Structure 1
Amino acid sequence: MEPPYEISTRYLHRATSQPCTLRYIGPVTTQTTNTQTEAERDRIWLGVEWDDPARGKHSGTHLGVKYFTSRVDGAASFLRWKPKDASKAREGTNGTADNGEMLWRGRTLLQAIKDRYLDTDLPDMEQPVETTNDHSLVLGSSNSRIQVTVPNLNKVTSKFADLGRLTHLGLDGMWVYGLKAQGEGNDLDMNMLDRLKSVKSLDLSGNLISRWQDLADIIRVLPMLTGLKLSHSRLPQPESSLDGVVGTAFRNITDLTIRNSLVSWSDVTLLSSSFSNLERLDIAVNPLCSGRQEGRKATSGFVNLRELVAGDCDISAWEDVVDMFGSLPALERLDISVNPIHSVPNNSSSVSSRAVFQRLQELVIKETTLDDWKDLGNLASWFDHEPVVLKSLKISSRVDDEGEVQERSSPDRQRLSGTRADRAGLVARFRGLGELNSSPVTKAEREEAAKIAQSLQAQPRQDVKVQINDATVISKPVQNSLKSKMIDLKLVFPDSPLDQASTLPQTISVLPSATLKILMIKLKKAAGSALATNAFHLEYQGGKLGDDDMNIKLSDLGLREGDEVIVRTE
């Protein structure tokens, strides 16, 4: 008996609920000697690569024999396969029946929508049922009417009506792998899909999609879709442009988020022609600089891209930032926070000196390892020539686990001191700034900044603690200091009726030091009657924030400026 699996396909390991990609099916030598029994030689093993590399034991090689190669070193392991035992079949932990197999293929889009939004058993539509009772449902046109009996018709029709009003389809963590299974998709299913014409954003984070073609099939049934989230994916690395595979399926997408998905910049450049109308791209927490060095260059696509988020992508050289992002023609906002960039060359003396970032207006570089005034001055040189006019800078120093600002290299350099002179020095160097760390730069402040910067240059301080303080504001009333520390979180209400959409807040401002409980209170107050009588919970990056998190600070939960929080009613 052969395992019912396909190589290069993604599955969920039932016992651990961990996603993986199947790389190998077959025998594995388990001993270094030739003492294996015939039964041992006939055993079938499954070679998998785990999304979480910590679960792996090797890279596809065992006892010197290479069976496959994992994309991430050390992320692979072998699972011994046994034919399924029907007697052990049970209700699975993922909302489906456990058929005894160790790997689960996941849900189709149809099943995921039913499980998350309908929560109602729909009738079998294979055969028309003639009925005229009060619980009948008519499908089809007047020329081909089909009447079927539906239990709880009022509940079904009400939920179908809700689908028609949905603008956000949140299927994160539902382990969707494709549009529909073979044989799935009766008339009622198709009617359900037809009602999704108003959906503008789709969250498929935490999916089991194995092919770009399968993703394209899903996108095609949502004609109004412009926003797509694919975080925690493992779609295959494209070897060439996807145009011949997906056609124009992705042309309407203007906002794409694909965090933590093993995407390199080489992959991004190959995707650019398929996502040709992107205006916002979030590729944070990806190994952008992996792969070929020649792949680290600006793509000829993305001519409409205005915002790029590339935080925590292990970019260590400023030259890579310039090569990858500098020539994007429409780029206005760039976020390169949490990248280990330790130095920046002056643009005028750089071998790559050229006009780059020509339309950039805002640079975000939070938790940076840049803290030397020379490097910060060099950074400013890249944005100090026409037509480049940087209007907004958001910058803060990286801190270690104990909350101390990191100190590196020799102490004889002039460094940031954590005083208000830091802000003055930054304003003086980035001369076109209108806003620094969300606080407006006034004319009086600019004049004072120039004087303090001159003083710093005349009397450099040595061996001082390094810190860029987000909240340091000069020539400002004290009462504004808390406001400057606040972060704005984006809010999504996927379960709210359409008629309430205009009354719900789109963002909420809160201190990073506030607890989740405080955020819940502020949110309930801001939403008013929409949440007054309903129990609700919050989700962030595909995970539910529960009662155990109520007293945890938002900063400790990983929430940052611009992050999206999903509000779900219970």
Structure 2
Amino acid sequence: MPDGFYIFYVGKRLSYDNQLCTVRYIGEVKGTKGEWLGVEWDDPTRGKHSGEHGGTKYFECLNQSTATSASFIRPARKYDPFRSFAEALKAKYASDPVQDPSIHIVFATKPGDNALKKDPLARINQPIRISGKEVEEVGFDKIRKQLAQLSELKIVILDGLRMDRSVARLREGMEEWEKGLTDVREACPKAIELDLSRNLFEEWREIASICEQLEKLKSLRVEYAMPSFPFIIPHKLTPPSGNRFRDISITAAERPRCLAAFANITDLKLEDTLLPWESIASLTHLFPALITFSASSNYYTSLTSHILNPAITSLTLEDNNLTSLSVISSLASLPSLRRLILKSNKISIITADSSPSPPVFSSSVTELDLTYNDISTWSFLDALPRSFPGLTSLRISHNPLYAHLQTPDGRPMTPEDGYMLTIARLSCLRTLNYSPITDKERLNAESYYLSLIAKELAYAPEKDAPAILESHPRYKELCEEYGEPVIARERGGVNPNSLAARLVRLHVYLKDSTENQQVELEIPGRCTAYTLIGMVSREFKTKPMGMRLVWETGDWMPAPKGVEEEDNDSESEDEEESEVGRVMREVEIVPGTRSVGTWIDGMEATIRVELR
């Protein structure tokens, strides 16, 4: 194209100073002379407005998360040159060696090595030896030469290289993109993984024309790829956007070619493309072997009824704007879905007001990730098994629910306590936050949960008992497993918020002591575990790190199935035969800043000291 000759149209992808954008408007702007290009920047913080000037709206931006994603640019402004696939590949993996005259090579020689002293450059051709073994010297030039073997590349990352593939766009009178293209096959025929993020593609057939030539391709990424920064980027930061397609339609003649081009791809990422869900869903049906799919960072607030490829087993919808599970009810029809990642959304409820009933997903869904959402009530977790009947693995950290937990008497609880209650409330779980749940952990969690329910009933008026039990759906089941707790309601008892309620009396004794060493301590419940361990170590004249504190709860209950007697730390050799098959719940007070009141229930407790 001759210099100074430009062709612009709405939807054209451009780059100015390595900042990608899409043309959204061509025409005059009131109060100015001549024509302007209204562009939407891929980086939503790059512009100055959202498509308006002087109170007049000239165009809409696809990304409406910010009001600074657009600018007006003169058509005469020179844009960055485009690259073909081969040019982008060479720019990334076969760039020219760096010649830096400021770099000097200095060789260290052994004393008496006169030859090298006279001619240090003689060292260049000498083998390098370390401890008598010859080693290979690897520098930037050598690495660059290895990468420059483009025909051997298997993982090809071409993000942010201003790649344009107009040769594959549909032209007037054509029913399919040009046949016989071989540029990609000749450049890197062995590619297995391909990243085409942050480029200048406009039509989906451009992607297909590349994949058509890579018979071994298994993984395709067409999204925004975060560049490397010397600092940690918060997970909620909205990054610059990815590819912006103006046309993803496929003609009847092109469909068989697309199915063949994507026939072996099992992993697809279409993140931050801002494509509507209808378009996203239709594209997945062009991938016959698709198993793993991601549509993160597309600002979805809900999903339409359009169905994804039914073969998908792992689906990621991270960093969208979903607010409930009912807005993704269309996913419930996926028969093979096993893993669903909903991290970094705004989910707070199961069912929205407009939904008559909660969605019920396939029992094949066993893994669910709900981290970094807005879940704040236990009722949400209690309802999860109804929506996910096959659920066995859950990630639930970083939700408001765990920020302000309290015991029934008003004492603060830690997130670790919250995770223990999560285990107790969800009997279906086998893994929580990637950690397998052992039989002993479940035993401690469920007995602890049952004691909290009993305490809540004890502090509340008897008339409130039905409402309290309704908020604990597993209460009856736990009573059948461990026995119904005794509810002791005392009139005129100590106010749980008074000073007296904040003092805990501890009976501390040294295990296996011949002198029957024991002591009584009365401490505020807010004292840390570190403080308690220090006090006990002074009383028994032992090193703090040389002992272990165990709270003996005194709660005996039948051992659940799967818990072997030898796994029960509370059973001693001289235990009466009547206690066989029963376990006492014990809690180790682990050194830390956690308060004693969060470890121990009640106003009195017996602490066993075990020397390590």
Q: TM-score range by the shorter chain?
A: 0.5 to 0.7
1:212 Cα deviation from its structure 2 partner: 0.9
Cα distance in 2 for residues equivalent to 1:261 and 1:411: 46
Paired residue secondary structure (2:371)? strand
Q: CA deviation at 1:12?
A: 0.9
Query: What is the TM-score when the length of structure 2 is the normalising length?
Result: 0.55
Counterpart-to-counterpart distance in 2, 1:241 and 1:411:
59
Q: Does 2:36 correspond to 1:55?
A: no
Q: How far 1:160 moved relative to its partner?
A: 9.1
**Per-residue Cα deviation, 1:74-94 (whole angstroms, up to 9, x for no partner):** 432211233xxxxxxxxxxxx
Matched, 1:257 2:269: yes
Q: How many Å separate the matches in 2 of 1:115 and 1:176?
A: 11
**Which of 425, 431, 436 in structure 2 is aligned with 1:429?**
425
Match of 1:335 among 336, 341, 346: 341
Structure 1 gaps of 5+ residues are 32-39, 83-100, 122-154, 183-188, 465-477, 479-570
Determine the structure 1 residue equivalent to 2:215: 223
Find the structure with the greater CA-based Rg. 2
For 2:339, give the aligned amino acid.
Answer: R
Report deviation, 1:7: 3.1
Q: What residue in structure 2 maps to residue 296 of structure 1?
A: 304
Q: Identify the residue that residue 307 of structure 1 maps to in structure 2.
A: 314
Equivalent residue number for residue 87 of structure 2: 111
* Closer, same or farther: CA 382–438 of 1 in aligned 2, 3 Å: same
Kindly state the Cα deviation for residue 345 of structure 1 after the two structures are TM-superposed: 4.7
Say if 1:27 and 1:397 are closer, same or farther in 2 by CA, change over 3 A: same
> 2 CA distance for matches of 1:2 and 1:63?
30
Q: Does structure 2 conserve the Cα–Cα contact (< 8 Å) formed by 1:298 and 1:326?
A: no
Q: Which amino acid aligns with 1:367?
A: Y
Residues 234 and 261, structure 1, Cα contact 8 Å, conserved in 2: yes
SS at match of 1:256: strand
Of the three residues 181, 190, 193, the one matched with 2:185 is 193
Matched, 1:281 2:293: yes
In the alignment, structure 1 residue 356 sits paired with structure 2 residue 357? no
Partner of 2:158: 171
Compute the displacement of 1:397 (Å).
Answer: 1.9
Equivalent-residue separation in structure 2 for 1:282 and 1:202 (angstroms): 15
Q: Cα distance, 1:159 vs. partner?
A: 6.0
SS in 2 for 1:24: strand
Distance 1:443 1:416, change over 3 A: farther
From 56, 59, 73, give the equivalent of 1:68. 59
CA distance in structure 1 between the partners assigned to 2:184 and 2:70 by the alignment: 39
Q: Does 1:7 align with 2:4?
A: no
Q: CA deviation at 1:318?
A: 2.0
Cα distance, 1:63–1:269 mapped onto 2, change above 3 Å: same
Distance in 1 separating the partners of 2:390 and 2:327 = 21
Q: CA deviation at 1:181?
A: 9.3
Correspondence for 2:243:
234
**1:418: which partner in 2?**
414
Identity of aligned pairs, percent? 29
Alignment check: 8 A CA contact 1:61 1:67 kept = yes
* Distance in 2 (alpha carbons) for counterparts of 1:341 and 1:446: 27
Aligned match for 1:372, one of 362, 368, 377: 377
Which residue of structure 1 lines up, in the alignment, with residue 327 of structure 2? 320
The alignment covers a number of residue pairs equal to 379
Q: Tell me the CA shift for residue 180 of structure 1.
A: 6.0
**For residues 264 and 81 of structure 2, what CA distance do their matches in structure 1 show?**
29
Question: Tell me, what secondary structure is at the counterpart of 1:19?
Answer: strand
Give the Cα–Cα distance (whole angstroms) in 2 for the partners of residues 344 and 107 of structure 1: 47
Query: Which blocks of at least 5 consecutive residues in structure 2 are unaligned?
Result: 98-141, 170-180, 225-241, 461-495, 498-544, 546-612
Q: Tell me the distance in 2 between the aligned counterparts of 1:221 and 1:415.
A: 65
Distance 2:402 2:422 in 1: 18
Letter in 2 for 1:19: L
Question: Is the alpha carbon distance of 1:198 and 1:351 closer, same or farther for their aligned partners in structure 2, counting shifts above 3 Å?
Answer: same
CA shift, 1:195, in A, is 5.4
Give, in angstroms, the shift of residue 333 of structure 1. Answer: 0.8
CA RMSD of aligned residues (A): 4.0
Distance 1:455 1:389 in 2: 28
Shift of 1:253: 2.1
